[in-house]
Amino acid sequence: MIELRNVSKSFGAVPAVADFSLKIESGAFFVLAGPSGCGKSTVLRMINALIFPDKGQIEVRGQDVRTMEPEKLRRGIGYVIQSAGLFPHWTVADNILAVPRLLKWSPPECAARLDALVGLLRVDPALLNRYPRQLSGGQQQRIGVARALAADPDIVLMDEPFAALDPVSRLVLQDELRGIHARSGKTIVFVTHDMDEAVRLATGMAVMNGGLLIQAGSPASILLAPVDDFVRDFLGAESLQLRLLDLVPVRTLMKPGKKGATETIAAGASLKNALNLMLACRRSSLGVADESGARLGEIHLNDIVARRDGG
Amino acid sequence: MGADRRSLIAALLRLARQPGPWLTVLLLAAMFLMPKAEPLMRWLFPGDPRPVYTRASFFELTLAHAELVAISSLAAAAIGIGVGIFVTRECGREFAAMAGAIAAMAQTFPPVAVLALTIPVLGYGAAPAIAALCLYAIFPIIAATVTGIEAVPATVRDAAMGMGFAPRDVLWRIELPLAFPFILAGLRNAVIINIGTAAIGSAAGALSLGSPIIEGLSASNPAYVLEGASIVALLAMAVDRGFAWLEDFTRPGGPEQPG
């Protein structure tokens, strides 16, 4: 879907990305992680030709980005940035429909798409006629994501989209984004410096430092076998086991059982959530429920502790 | 019916509290009723045989004055906004400092000197006055345009580019609308300065509200100076209120939105 081959880019004398190669498969939720200034945003901005590399090649959908008209390429790729970057003089609805209108969709098509997006991202319809300054940070970024998805692009680029949000808004939007990805099969390239966020969202990830690709693979493979001390430190070795628990849903360790344990947790929640809830209510077992709240079984602390890592 | 009348009265009272309508009424009165003010002028300046300027009607003078200001300000707006846009483009960025320096220098030139220098080229009349006024108005308009465009948040521009806005779309649909309040403020500044300065145009033979002022100065007739100057001042204040209203009206989301 997206392939970078031996890409290098300097700004003046400062190298930002050096000899960077990466292949992102179609349908991946790919996270580029690393400390600030490691070149991850530069990589992202080269994918939609906001920046051109000095050396190397970038292909999107099998086509060299240099051979494509930049505006046309970008209209086919969703783009979300940290502070949302909503147009302050446009209403929320106009902001969401920016790209469909650039693509000259008809008004009925735009109206239908707006309806669909309001449903998909659970936007309060009362917000549509407001201006961005009247929205909270979380609401603004929700609109930013809706705007990126408006023309239904198969690729979405996201540059630390949730970094400036409060923890609650961030978790909610992360969950929704993961759901949208799972349902739509879009290819998402997501830049973050937050390791928890990376592990929670990624199907594949790359860790960068100083403009170099240090390690790429699934989140579990990187957590279990960091290639060097930098990756180990960046992952936060002291909480490695907890991060691994974040990758595994409760249903994998669920056992049949209908009695005991009054507290319940969703089958799709992570083992980390389960452990957290056990600590919070001082119990060694929890009930497991499906989305409608119907009891499916139970999960036990012993099983979490005895679990063998396999990713 | 009673409620209708009450709301009408309330609306009139609201209007009466605004300085704009009052200034407009005063301006119209000064323009049309100045000949009727002869007793007042006689009382203010006793011994003056002809205390009211009659060579041209004050309506005619005000119209000619407004024309000088309008033509010079429109030309200055076209040039100033154009230059402001150019020096904020990728290709024009290196000219930004130079354009700013030249425009600032132009403003330090005394208007009388500009008139003296342009008369040999453009002859007597309105042309040198318009040239001098235009030169004066360009600088505040360039400055306002550049400030307005540079005040567009980098993230907004980045988002627009990243979504596939062409540079032309970024300018027309993002940068200029967001810079508009700044440009309007610069234009307001330039026009108000020009209304005052346009009186000097009469020194080059242009008809304006400066005509009675300059004649009054040369003939030691302070009544003429007062008549011309009071209408210039009222015109400047009324136009200023007009701009204030326009700024309020064009704010995105309408005049009642909190900022």
> Are A228 and A102 within one domain?
yes
> Are A279 and A240 within one domain?
no
Closest alpha carbon within chain B to A72? B164
Distance from the B256 Cα atom to the nearest Cα atom in chain A, whole angstroms: 13
Distance from the B249 Cα atom to the nearest Cα atom in chain A, whole angstroms: 14
Tokens 């960068």 — which residue? A208
- CA-based nearest residue to A22, from A39, A10, A11: A39
End-of-domain residue from the set A222, A244, A266: A244
A102 and chain B in contact, CB less than 8 A: yes
* Cα A44 to Cα A66: distance, rounded to the nearest angstrom: 15
Q: Where are the alpha helices (DSSP H) in A203-253?
A: 219-224, 229-235, 240-246
pLDDT of the residue at B116: 86
> Are A203 and A275 within one domain?
no
> Are A232 and A289 within one domain?
no
**Residue A64 per-residue DSSP state:** E
Cβ–Cβ gap B164/A88 under 8 Å:
no
Query: Quick check: A288 pLDDT over 80?
Result: yes
- B166: which 2 tokens? 């062409």
CATH number of the domain where residue A105 is located: 3.40.50.300
* Residue A311 in domain: no
Are B41 and B52 in contact, with CB atoms under 8 Å apart?
yes
Beta bridge partners of A80: A158
> Which CATH superfamily groups domain B64-249?
MetI-like (1.10.3720.10)
Specify the amino acid at residue B8.
Answer: L
* A123-129 mean pLDDT: 93
> Are A44 and A192 within one domain?
yes
Counted residue by residue, chain A has a size of: 311
Are B199 and B213 in contact, with CB atoms under 8 Å apart?
yes
Query: Quick check: A106 pLDDT over 70?
Result: yes
Distance from the B101 Cα atom to the nearest Cα atom in chain A, whole angstroms: 28
- CA-based nearest residue to A96, from A145, A147, A60: A147
Please tell me which of the candidates A88, A148, A157 has its beta carbon nearest to residue B178.
A88
End-of-domain residue from the set A202, A219, A244: A244
Distance from the B94 Cα atom to the nearest Cα atom in chain A, whole angstroms: 17
List chain B domain ranges.
64-249
> Are A256 and A109 within one domain?
no
CB contacts of B178 in chain A (<8 Å) are 88-89
* Residue A195 in domain: yes
**Residue A3 per-residue DSSP state:** E
**Residue B221 per-residue DSSP state:** -
CB contacts of A76 in chain B (<8 Å) are 164
ipTM for this prediction: 0.81
pLDDT tens series, chain B, 259 aa: 567 888 888 888 888 788 888 899 899 988 888 888 888 888 888 878 788 888 889 999 999 999 999 999 999 999 999 999 999 998 888 888 888 888 888 778 888 888 888 888 888 889 999 999 998 899 889 999 999 999 999 999 999 999 999 999 999 999 999 999 999 999 999 999 999 999 989 988 899 999 999 999 998 889 999 999 999 999 999 999 999 999 888 876 544 444 3
**Residue A293 per-residue DSSP state:** -
A229 and chain B in contact, CB less than 8 A: no
A84 and chain B in contact, CB less than 8 A: yes
Cβ–Cβ gap B164/A86 under 8 Å:
no
Are B107 and B52 in contact, with CB atoms under 8 Å apart?
no
Number of domains in chain A: 2
Specify the amino acid at residue A91.
Answer: T
Backbone phi and psi for residue A136, each to the nearest 5 degrees, phi listed first: -75, 165
> Are A201 and A293 within one domain?
no
Find the domain containing A292 and state its range.
248-306
> Are A204 and A297 within one domain?
no
CA geometry: angle A210, A171, A239, nearest 5 deg = 55
Distance from the A72 Cα atom to the nearest Cα atom in chain B, whole angstroms: 7
CATH number of the domain where residue A298 is located: 3.90.1280.20
CB contacts of B165 in chain A (<8 Å) are 71, 98, 102
> Are A40 and A119 within one domain?
yes
pLDDT of the residue at A257: 77
> What is the largest distance, in Å, between two alpha-carbon atoms of chain A?
67
> Are A206 and A290 within one domain?
no
Antiparallel, parallel or unpaired: β A29-33 and A204-209:
parallel
Which residue has better confidence, A236 or A64? A64
Are B146 and B84 in contact, with CB atoms under 8 Å apart?
yes
Over the stretch A183-206, which tens digit does the pLDDT of each residue have? 998 999 999 998 889 988 999 999
Tokens 């390791």 — which residue? A195
> Are A60 and A183 within one domain?
yes
Are A211 and A301 in contact, with CB atoms under 8 Å apart?
no
> Are A287 and A273 within one domain?
yes
Disruptive mutation site among A47, A79, A135 for chain B (greatest number of B CBs within 10 Å): A79
Which residues contact residue B114 at a Cβ distance below 8 angstroms, ignoring those fewer than 6 apart?
Answer: B128, B131, B132, B135
